[in-house]
């Protein structure tokens, strides 16, 4: 029956639909952990999403990782292909209509997700929206309440394989960094849009200040951040190392794990770095750290909130005052404090 508690003992095949964004996938890891702990030991959990192969640890026979197909039509056909598995449960973390439709097409007996956008008819357990200031980690965990699971949120954690660490160290050596160097990552770019980006001149000034202290700043980002890399390197007084476009998504946790600290926008890499235990200074502008700041005792968020924030706009229509208010002095101080509390 709709809305009645889901008997955990009856769940042998479950699907967990992960979010589409890298950072949100990291923030969903505690939900996977709580779900696995709540279900019988022989339950298989299919994890589906574009980042699961990068972020979700493999566990043969217990956790299956499936990359979601490209394009809405293909994803819905993919969901139909899950019917022969005889799914008992589908937990839908994204709030899109498509994700709920895929759960319905999968044939799962119980389908849990947040209501809204006409999704309630597709779900057997449609929850009301989480309170306004609920962190995303907690919002995902709330979706397990129909199973009688109500756990205290914990920071996401990621383990890095030894072979990946060796490959990451080789990449850093290729960029001119040695194991003795105190490497400070400066993450360039954010998939959300340019409104999350700190001005280039301040990134360059921060890199110069860190280098003057004997630290080794290193620029990070995908190949799409090449123009930002060139702009920063043209503005610095001291040469700065770069791995922009030099790694691959599967290696990102290992690369970040080799850093002493990371400075980043509110972005996926900030959450990955926090999950592998790296102190992270996350710069917030159009988004809200109460909702998406990386969690953990060594994580720092800087937000100089103007009256117009959070606006959640990909592009600022005025003067980008939210991130213009974040000074080099403030970020440098947070980096130094993060380094002081390592270990």
> Quick one: three-class SS letters along the chain?
CCCCCCCHHHCCEEEEECCCCHHHHHHCHHHHHHHHHHCCCCCEEEEECCCHHHHCCCECCCEEEECCCCCHHHHHHHHHCCHHHCCCEEEECCCCHHHHHHHHHCCCCEEEEECCCCCHHHCCEEECCCCCCCCHHHHHHHCCHHHCCCCCCCCCCCCCCHHHHHHHHHHHHHCCCCCCCCEEEEECCCCCCHHHCCCHHHHHHHHHHHHHCCCEEEEECCHHHHHHHHHHHHHCCCCCEECCCCCCHHHHHHHHHCCCEEEEECCHHHHHHHHCCCCEEEEECCCCHHHHCCCCCCEEEEECCCCCCCCCCCCCCCCCHHHHCCCHHHHHHHHHHHHHCCC
- CA 90/CA 331 separation, integer angstroms: 42
> What pLDDT is stored for residue 193 in this prediction?
82
Confidence tier at 205 by pLDDT (50, 70, 90): very high
Q: What number is the average pLDDT over the span 172-200?
A: 92
Render pLDDT for 298-320 as a digit per residue (tens, 0 to 9): 899 999 999 999 999 999 999 99
pLDDT digits (tens, 9 = 90+) for 222-272: 999 999 999 999 999 999 999 999 988 899 999 999 999 999 999 999 999
- For residue 222, count CB atoms less than 10 angstroms from its CB and return exposed for 0-12, middle for 13-18, buried for 19 or more: middle
pLDDT on residue 61 = 83
Strand ranges of the sheet holding 216-220, from the earlier edge strand across to the other edge:
241-242, 216-220, 183-187, 261-265, 280-284, 299-303
Q: Residue 81: pLDDT above 60? A: yes
**First and final CA of the chain: distance in angstroms?**
51
Across 203-210, average pLDDT: 98
Distance separating alpha carbons of residues 237 and 224, to the nearest angstrom: 24
Tell me whether domains 8-147 and 162-340 share a fold.
yes
Q: What percent of the chain has pLDDT over 90?
A: 88
pLDDT band at 2 (very low <50, low <70, confident <90, very high): low
Which among 220, 195, 205 is positioned nearest to 323, based on CA atoms? 195
pLDDT digits (tens, 9 = 90+) for 106-145: 999 999 999 988 999 999 999 999 888 899 999 999 999 9
Determine how many CB atoms are found less than 10 A away from the CB of residue 298: 18
pTM of the predicted protein model? 0.95
Q: Domain extents for the chain?
A: 8-147, 162-340
Listing from the earlier edge strand, what are the strands of the sheet with 44-48? 63-66, 44-48, 13-17, 89-92, 110-114, 125-127
pLDDT level of residue 342 (50, 70, 90 thresholds): low
What confidence score (pLDDT) does residue 305 get? 93
Query: pLDDT-based confidence at 1, cuts 50/70/90?
Result: very low
43, 71, 91 from 10: Cα distances, Å: 9, 33, 15
CATH code given to domain 162-340: 3.40.50.2000
Whole-angstrom CA distances from 288 to 104, 186, 191, 237, 292 are 32, 21, 16, 33, 7
Q: Which residue has the higher pLDDT, 240 or 297?
A: 240
> Is 13 in contact with 82 (CB distance < 8 Å)?
no
Nearest to 104 by CA among 129, 71, 76, 73: 76
Does the 8-147 domain belong in CATH 3.40.190.10?
Answer: no
Per-residue pLDDT, averaged over 63-89, amounts to: 92
Q: Give pLDDT, residue 58.
A: 84
Predicted confidence band of residue 343 (pLDDT cuts 50, 70, 90) = low
Q: d(Cα 209, Cα 217) in Å, to the nearest integer?
A: 9
- Identify the weakest region by mean pLDDT among 31-40, 193-202, 204-213, 323-332: 193-202
| Chain mean pLDDT for the chain | 94
What's the pLDDT at 251?
Answer: 94
């Amino acid at each position: 029956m709709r809305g009645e508690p889901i008997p955990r003992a009856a769940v042998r095949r479950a699907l967990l639909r992960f979010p589409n964004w890298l950072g949100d996938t990291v923030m969903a890891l505690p939900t996977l952990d709580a779900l696995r702990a709540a279900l019988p030991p022989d339950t298989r959990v299919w994890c589906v999403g574009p980042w699961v192969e990068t972020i979700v640890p493999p566990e043969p026979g217990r956790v299956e990782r499936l990359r979601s197909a490209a394009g809405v039509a293909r994803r819905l056909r993919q969901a139909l292909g899950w019917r022969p598995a005889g799914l008992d449960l589908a937990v839908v973390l994204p709030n899109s209509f498509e994700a709920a439709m895929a759960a319905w097409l999968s044939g799962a007996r119980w389908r849990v997700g947040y209501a809204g956008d006409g999704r309630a008819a597709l779900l057997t357990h449609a929850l009301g929206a989480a309170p306004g200031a609920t962190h995303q980690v907690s919002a995902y965990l709330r979706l397990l309440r129909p199973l009688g699971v109500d756990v205290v949120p914990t920071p996401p954690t990621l383990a890095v394989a030894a072979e990946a660490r060796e490959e990451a160290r080789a990449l850093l050596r290729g960029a001119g960094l040695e194991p003795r160097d105190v490497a400070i990552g400066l993450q360039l770019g954010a998939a959300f849009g340019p409104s999350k980006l700190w001005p280039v001149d301040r990134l360059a000034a921060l890199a110069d200040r860190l280098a003057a202290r004997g630290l080794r700043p290193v620029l990070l980002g995908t190949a799409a951040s090449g123009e930002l890399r060139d702009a920063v390197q043209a503005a610095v007084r001291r040469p700065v190392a770069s791995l922009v476009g030099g790694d691959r998504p599967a290696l990102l946790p290992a690369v970040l794990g080799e850093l002493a600290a990371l400075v980043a926008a509110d972005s996926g890499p900030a959450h990955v770095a926090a999950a592998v235990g790296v102190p992270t200074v996350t710069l917030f502008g159009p988004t809200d750290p109460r909702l998406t700041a990386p969690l953990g005792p060594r994580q720092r968020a800087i937000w100089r909130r103007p009256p117009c924030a959070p606006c959640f706009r990909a592009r600022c229509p005025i003067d980008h005052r939210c991130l213009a208010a974040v000074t080099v002095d403030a970020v440098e101080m947070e980096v130094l404090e993060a380094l002081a509390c390592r270990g």
